[in-house]
Chain A
Amino acid sequence: MTTHKRSFTTALWDFFCSLKLSISLLIGLALTSIIGTIIKQNASMDEYQHYYSDSTIRIFNSLGFFDMYHSWWFILLLYLLTVNLVACSIKRLPRVWKMIAEPTLVMDEGLEKSLSLTHEFKLAGDAATLRDKLTAFLSQEFAPPVITEVDGEYHLFAQKARWCRLGVYVVHLSIIIIFIGAIIGSTFGAKGFVQITEGQSVGSFVDRYTGKTVDLGYTLALRQFEVEYYPSGAPKEYRSFLTVLENGQPVPGLIDRKIIVNDPLTYKGITFYQSSYGTIHQLTMRDRKGGAPYKIEAADKEPVSLPGGGFAVIAESVPDVSPYMPGFTGPAVKVVLEERNGTQQSLILLQNNPQFDLQRGGAQIFTYDGKTKYFTGLQVAKDPGVWVVWLGCALMVIGICMAFFMSHRRVWARISKGQVVLGGTASKNQPGFQLHFDELADKLKKL
């Protein structure tokens, strides 16, 4: 029973230590990741119904394909990868560590045979003199050697860049650190969106994932929003001028701060990114029979309720109507009116022709008074894990450079009276090292 048990745990351990598993996982992650790039993620059910049949939707839904990067099986693959990584490292690291911490100081016959680079030559002098000469030589030309005496012979050992053996483990550790950073971010962070109209402010936002309201701990006020255009009419820059207020008091340094795309504002761990904007239009509603005009302020596509029930929505707005309605000029809006009983009608309002709506013959007459204010749309992010992620990324680059471009080079010398045997090896780029090694040997012969 116990042997069976042990063999099971051994088998499990071996399974997790195997490089075949890593390759399968890497390929598996690559292939499954494709699914989420073909099926649109986190779209609305309406949109899915447009593309797929109900039964397909049911199958995709149960497989988690509509949010596959957060599905249980994708997360499981990532966990397997992590366990695999840790297991492999636990198994291999001690051996590599030993090579770094306790190098083989003495080149015996066995080691000499295993080395592909060796040179043997005669030099005048007794062992102690040669030892001192070689020590000075290696210190100058390669690296300071460690000296060991065995049976009247001297052994020198010198090495370079032994730490690069750890490169692979630095890379693997970095992956785990990045995962930790991502987990910190998704546990303690929040993502959302706020919309602020010029002259107004916000003090909280709604987390997109949990639906909870997150208190900023301060308020953020928008003084002004601006758009700048290229001469061609393409947008050049979107600017929001924001002020952070704490207990109603502006925070020094964060008064009227300009933020643009690619230059966000961060305060107390929460960052605001310029993301979108819109305009507030002013309409006036009058009763055909007379009476006081009623002013309406509305953003594009946002319903506003009207006195006496019903809604108005600005479906579209254009700065110049002439391409659409020849003979007319100036700004225009298309408004959809929904009455209390549900009937809809749409009307066009022209800023330059306030009489235009008269001909519709409705009980109310609308005019378009133009744009009054902008509002700005800001992405809000709080991610305390992001620095851990960057730390992991930096480690990864360092580790990859160590693993790929640095080579652990070792040189041994066995010195007896009148004779020196030189041996060497490198963990990478052996041909390159051979050139260097032969050069060393040549110089040594001339000593």
Chain B
Amino acid sequence: METHNLINPLFSSKLFNITTICYFAAMVIFFIYLANRNRGVGLAASITAYAGFVVQTVAIGLRWQESYQLGVGHAPLSNLYESVVFFSWSIILMFAIVDLKLKYRVVGAFVVPFALLGMVWAQLKLDTGAIEPLVPALQSNWLLYHVITCFLGYAAFAVACGVSIMYLIKAKQEEAAGNASAGGVVAMFPSTRVLDDLNYKAIMVGFPLLTIGIITGAAWANYAWGTYWSWDPKETWSLIVWFVYAAFLHARFTRGWVGRPAAILSITGFIFTIFCYLGVNLLLSGLHSYGG
């Protein structure tokens, strides 16, 4: 049924375009930062990313408000386009924590591209951009709690994945260069020990969020359908992701599962996460309507 009266919210769309441009610029500046190691450039990269983040926050807020003006008021988290935008936003939020609290700015070079990818995809491929009214099944506050916690969790896993890629590059270079510290771009990376720790920390943030995301999803399903768990493909995949990260956490307690194996497990976990988010909708069928 493509007969809905779709109304295109123009202003927030423009702001999303600016956001995309900011993230692209931030990524380029981050790459320059990697090459020339100038602190000023690093600062510029972060500021550009945050500028995009602020614009995006305003745009999401406006879209929310616009939906009320259209009389179909709901949080902008109701279709694939909106969720990808929110995912991008969450990734930059998680990066901000690593940058401002833990002071590892250079991680941005490997995290901001994920956010950019999300925005580009949303703008180019998914963009009807229209605000649609919510079907009855989605009219619940549980939607808000469920989606927000899940996506913040996914974003933390994106950071862990970015950091793990850095780990693998750095570890490989160090191996090749013997014990002499690696030169070039890689020299900018934090030490492998720090990267490994960041990987763990990011998963430590993501895992509780995913857990709460799954629980709120179950609570909502129970509230709406009377069954908290029905092994629907989306539910099952979120559980699969949860198993993978639980395995990651336990593997840290046995020897040998820090560093490289941990980085590989973290990247695998993120691939599973992306499949859970997108693959399930695009390739499998089920209850969840995003991307339908």
Determine the distance from Cα of A271 to Cα of B227 in the docked complex, in whole angstroms. Answer: 11
Determine the distance from Cα of A205 to Cα of B272 in the docked complex, in whole angstroms. Answer: 40
The interface residues of chain B, by DSSP majority, are classed as helix
Q: For chain A residues 328-371, which have a beta carbon within 8 Å of chain B? A: none
Q: Is there a chain B Cβ closer than 8 Å to A3's Cβ? A: no
Question: Nearest chain B CB to A216's CB is how many angstroms away?
Answer: 14
Decide: A234 and B244 in contact? CB cutoff 8 A: no
Q: Is there a chain A Cβ closer than 8 Å to B218's Cβ? A: yes
Chain B residues near A379: list those with CB within 8 A: 225-226
Determine the distance from Cα of A381 to Cα of B222 in the docked complex, in whole angstroms. Answer: 9
Question: Nearest chain B CB to A382's CB is how many angstroms away?
Answer: 9
Q: Is there a chain B Cβ closer than 8 Å to A253's Cβ? A: no
Closest to A227 in B: B136
Decide: B215 and A397 in contact? CB cutoff 8 A: yes
Q: Is there a chain B Cβ closer than 8 Å to A83's Cβ? A: no
Determine the distance from Cα of A380 to Cα of B6 in the docked complex, in whole angstroms. Answer: 35
Question: Nearest chain B CB to A212's CB is how many angstroms away?
Answer: 18
Decide: A26 and B204 in contact? CB cutoff 8 A: no
Closest to A401 in B: B208
Chain B residues near A94: list those with CB within 8 A: none
Decide: A23 and B231 in contact? CB cutoff 8 A: no
Chain A residues near B3: list those with CB within 8 A: 232-233
Chain A residues near B6: list those with CB within 8 A: 232
Chain A residues near B5: list those with CB within 8 A: 230-233
Determine the distance from Cα of A230 to Cα of B4 in the docked complex, in whole angstroms. Answer: 9
Decide: B215 and A393 in contact? CB cutoff 8 A: yes
Decide: B280 and A27 in contact? CB cutoff 8 A: no
Question: Nearest chain B CB to A397's CB is how many angstroms away?
Answer: 6
Determine the distance from Cα of A401 to Cα of B208 in the docked complex, in whole angstroms. Answer: 7
Q: For chain A residues 374-389, which have a beta carbon within 8 Å of chain B? A: 379-381, 383, 386, 389
Instruction: Give the interface segment out of B26-34, B39-47, B176-184, B235-243.
Output: B235-243
> Number of B residues contacting the other chain (C-beta, 8 Å)?
48
Instruction: A37-B284, A273-B225, A381-B227 given; name 14 further pairs at CB < 8 Å.
Output: A22-B250, A26-B247, A33-B236, A33-B240, A34-B236, A34-B240, A37-B236, A230-B4, A232-B3, A264-B224, A381-B225, A400-B208, A401-B208, A404-B204
Residues on B facing A (Cβ under 8 Å): 1, 3-6, 72, 132-133, 135-137, 139-140, 142, 204, 207-208, 211-212, 215, 218-219, 222-229, 231, 233, 236-237, 239-240, 243-244, 246-247, 250-251, 253-254, 272, 280, 284-285
Decide: B215 and A33 in contact? CB cutoff 8 A: no
Instruction: Give the interface segment out of A127-135, A157-165, A235-243, A305-313.
Output: A235-243
Q: Which of B72, B208, B224, B243 contacts A26 (CB 8 A)?
A: B243
Decide: A262 and B224 in contact? CB cutoff 8 A: yes
Decide: B226 and A41 in contact? CB cutoff 8 A: no
Residues on A facing B (Cβ under 8 Å): 19-20, 22-23, 26-27, 29-30, 33-34, 36-38, 40-41, 69, 182, 191, 230-238, 260-262, 264, 271, 273-275, 379-381, 383, 386, 389-390, 393, 396-397, 400-401, 404
Decide: A26 and B246 in contact? CB cutoff 8 A: yes
Q: Which of A27, A33, A234, A381 contacts B133 (CB 8 A)?
A: A234
Determine the distance from Cα of A357 to Cα of B272 in the docked complex, in whole angstroms. Answer: 58
Chain B residues near A40: list those with CB within 8 A: 285
Decide: B140 and A262 in contact? CB cutoff 8 A: yes
Determine the distance from Cα of A19 to Cα of B246 in the docked complex, in whole angstroms. Answer: 12
Decide: A230 and B136 in contact? CB cutoff 8 A: no
Decide: B253 and A19 in contact? CB cutoff 8 A: yes
User: Given A26-B247, A69-B231, A401-B208, do A261 and B4 touch, yes or no (CB 8 Å)?
Assistant: no
Question: Nearest chain B CB to A264's CB is how many angstroms away?
Answer: 7
Determine the distance from Cα of A274 to Cα of B4 in the docked complex, in whole angstroms. Answer: 24
Decide: B222 and A386 in contact? CB cutoff 8 A: yes
Q: Which of A41, A233, A260, A397 contacts B212 (CB 8 A)?
A: A397
Closest to B134 in A: A236
Decide: A23 and B224 in contact? CB cutoff 8 A: no
Determine the distance from Cα of A30 to Cα of B207 in the docked complex, in whole angstroms. Answer: 15
Question: Nearest chain A CB to B61's CB is how many angstroms away?
Answer: 23
Decide: B224 and A191 in contact? CB cutoff 8 A: no
Determine the distance from Cα of A233 to Cα of B229 in the docked complex, in whole angstroms. Answer: 32
Closest to A273 in B: B226
Closest to B197 in A: A431
Decide: B246 and A261 in contact? CB cutoff 8 A: no
Chain B residues near A393: list those with CB within 8 A: 215, 218-219
- Sample 8 A-B pairs with CB under 8 A, ordered by A number: A191-B227, A230-B4, A230-B5, A231-B5, A261-B136, A264-B224, A381-B225, A396-B215
User: Given A37-B237, A262-B223, do A23 and B254 touch, yes or no (CB 8 Å)?
Assistant: yes
